[in-house]
Amino acid sequence: MAGHAELLALLLPASYALTGQIEAELTAEGEALDTALAVSLDPLRGLTPLQALEWLEDYERVYGLPGDCRQSGLLLQERLALLGIALAERATINREYFIWLAAQLGYTISIEEFAPFRAGFSSAGDSLTNYETLFTAGCRAGEPLSQGAPWQFVWVVHAQGEPTAYFRAGVSCAGEPLVSWSNQLLECAIRGAAPAHTTVHFAYGG
């Protein structure tokens, strides 16, 4: 006899003998209390949803995930990555945020932006190759001149190839492939967070 059953036995009057029937009742009641205690601790594990997988569906419901990024065969690792992005506090939308977002999905990216040559913003002697970002003020020489004003709202995400998601114990489910490749999740996640007045293009490889 152990756990709550042992504690219940200590509460019995000294005159009670632990006969077969009493012992069986104490064991059954003790197991019920052991289960109740274990279940009561589950909500505390839910405070770290990336480790308490039984709470994943509840968090996805609260955050509306996977939302527009819903696709067939979404891996558990990808679901956890989308939740990690949703949980992160965002004080602003900038280059660093999108680079971090891509890293959560297994990508290393760089961002290229365009702007037309503009008096007052571009400098003489730049050979008409000035740079103006969507996210930060200032100009930088050496970038190609865009072909028109609308390009100032365009930015390009350069990603090196496709990430490989390997099956891993604890972050993969039975029935998932041992190896998976996909670009769709990256494009969906970045487009979902991009400023509404901008257009995002994606380039892979070199």
153-182 pLDDT tens trace:
889 999 876 666 667 776 677 777 666 666
Q: Which residue has the tokens 């996640």?
A: 189
**Distance separating alpha carbons of residues 121 and 136, to the nearest angstrom:** 13
Q: Do residues 72 and 129 lie in contact, with contact meaning Cβ atoms separated by under 8 Å?
A: no
Strand, coil or helix: 111: strand
R_g (Cα) of the chain, nearest Å: 28
CA dist., res. 20 & res. 157, Å (int) = 72
Q: Which residues pair with 139 in a beta bridge?
A: 132
Helix count and strand count (H, E) for the chain: 7, 5
pLDDT confidence of residue 180: 65
Boundaries of every domain in the chain: 4-40, 45-204
**pLDDT tier at 111, thresholds 50, 70, 90:** very high
Can you list the alpha helix ranges (DSSP code H) found in the chain?
4-10, 20-40, 42-45, 56-63, 76-87, 95-104, 184-193
pLDDT digits (tens, 9 = 90+) for 15-52: 777 777 888 888 999 999 999 888 887 777 667 777 77
Q: Which DSSP state fits 165?
A: E
